[in-house]
Amino acid sequence: MDKDEQMPLGNLRVLELGTLLAGPFTGRLLADFGAEVIKVEPPGKADPMRGWGKEKDGTGLWWPVQSRNKKSITLNLREKEGQDVLKELVEEADILIENFRPGTMEKWNLSYEELSEINPGLIMVRTSGFGQTGPYKERAGFGSVGEAMGGLRYVTGYNDRAPTRTGISIGDTLSALFATIGCLVAVNERQISGKGQVVDTALYESVFSVMESLIPDYLLADFVRERMGNILPGVAPSNIYQTKDETYVVIGANADGVFRRLCEAMGREELAEDPEYATHEARGKNMKKLDLLIEEWTKTLDSDELLQLLEKKGVPSGLIYSAKDIVEDPHYQARDMIVNVDHPELGDFPMPGVVPKLSRTPGKVNFPGAEKMGKHNEDIFRDVLNYSERDIEELQKKGII
C-alpha cells in the first residue's frame, strides 16, 4: 500500500522493527488508518508471530491479522551495511517503532541521538518491559510480566486459587495502545515544534495505568484489592447469572435507576425500596444476598427470554460470547466488525474490523500480512531509496537483505 493521502494517517511513513506483539500491534493500528508501515525482519529469521496461532494448510492464522496493511522487507541490522540502509530509510520516514530490550538499538549504532541527526523530525516509539530508564530497564520483559508487575494478575481470578491470566495478551495490547497514543501526540506536537522525540512505553506501566483506584485504595483507605472472581468490590449487582438453559448472562445494574428497572423486570419492585438494596452502598454491602436473589429469578428463564426482557426494561445485559457467537451476531455484521480480505494462499480471510470508526475518513483493511518475508524488498529499496537492480542483488548476495 503506497501512501494514501485520503486516509487520516496517509501522510506518514513508519518503520516497524521488533517482533511478536507490542511493537507490531502499534504498527497495525497506524496501518489501519493509512500509514505506510514497513515491517522489517532479519533475512532468514522470521518474526515468530508468523507461526503463532492455529494453522490452516500450514499457514499461521495470527500473522495475517497482526501484520495486515504492512509492507514487508528484510534487513540485517546486526551488520553495518544493514544499519546504513536503515539510516537511509530513516531519512524518508516519520516514525520508527521498536520493541527490543533497551540498549539494543544503541548497540547497533541506531540510537535516537544518531537517527535524529539524520532526521530531526523522527519520532521513535520504544516499547519495552520496564522502559528506557530506571533500575529494571535492562530486564527482559514480556506482556505476562507486565501484567504481573502492573498489578493486573493479582486481582484476576478467584480468591481461593492462584492468580490467572485474562485469556489474551492484554499487557502487550495495552502497551501498544498507549504507544499509539504517544505516537500520535508526538506527531501533533511536531507540527508545532518541527521536532521529533522518543515515545517511551513500558509494559508494566501500561497495565498499571488502567488499574483504577488501586493505589489510593491502599494508601488512603488501607485497602488492598484482592481477587474477586466475577464481581467488583462494593458494586452490585454486576455479575454473571445462570439461566434456565444453563448459559450465563452478564447483568450490570449497579446504578440506582437501572437497579429499579431490574427490580421491575424481576417483578420485585419492593427490592428497590428495601434498605438493604436501595442505595449503591447498601447493595455493595449485601452483594452476595442480592446476587442469590437475582440468580433465583434468572434460572426460571431461558437466556433469550431473559435478554429480551432485560432489553425491554433498559437493563445492560449480554451473553458471554464465544467466537461462534461473535461470528453469528447480526450487530457485529452490521458494523463490519468481521471483514474478509483476500489471502494469496487461503482465499477469503476473516479478521476483526477497524476500531474506532471515523465518520468521514474511516480506516480499512486492504490486505493481510505478507505471506513471504521481504515481499516488498524491491518496492521499498527501488522506489523509496532509488536502488538499482544491481544494488539490490549485491545486498542479497551479502545477506544484508
Question: So which residues are the catalytic ones?
Answer: 172
Helix (H, G, I), strand (E, B) or coil at 346: coil
CA distance 233 to 241: 17
Placement of cell 427490580 in the chain: 263
CA distance 313 to 262: 7
> Is the peptide bond between 237 and the residue preceding it cis, with omega within 30 degrees of 0?
yes
**Short-list 59, 22, 291, 331, CA closest to 147:** 22
Placement of cell 516488498 in the chain: 376
Give the three cell numbers for residue 307: 435478554
Give the three cell numbers for residue 358: 471515523
Residues sharing a CB contact under 8 Å with residue 44, sequence separation 6 or more, in sequence order: 74, 399
Q: Which helix (H) or strand (E) holds 343?
A: strand 338-343
Residues sharing a CB contact under 8 Å with residue 234, sequence separation 6 or more, in sequence order: 281, 284, 285, 287
What is the phi-psi region of residue 30: left when phi exceeds 0, alpha when psi lies from -120 to 50, beta otherwise? alpha
DSSP 286-315: THHHHHHHHHHHHTTS-HHHHHHHHHHHT-
* Amino acid occupying residue 203: L
CA distance 263 to 177: 39
CA distance 180 to 183: 5
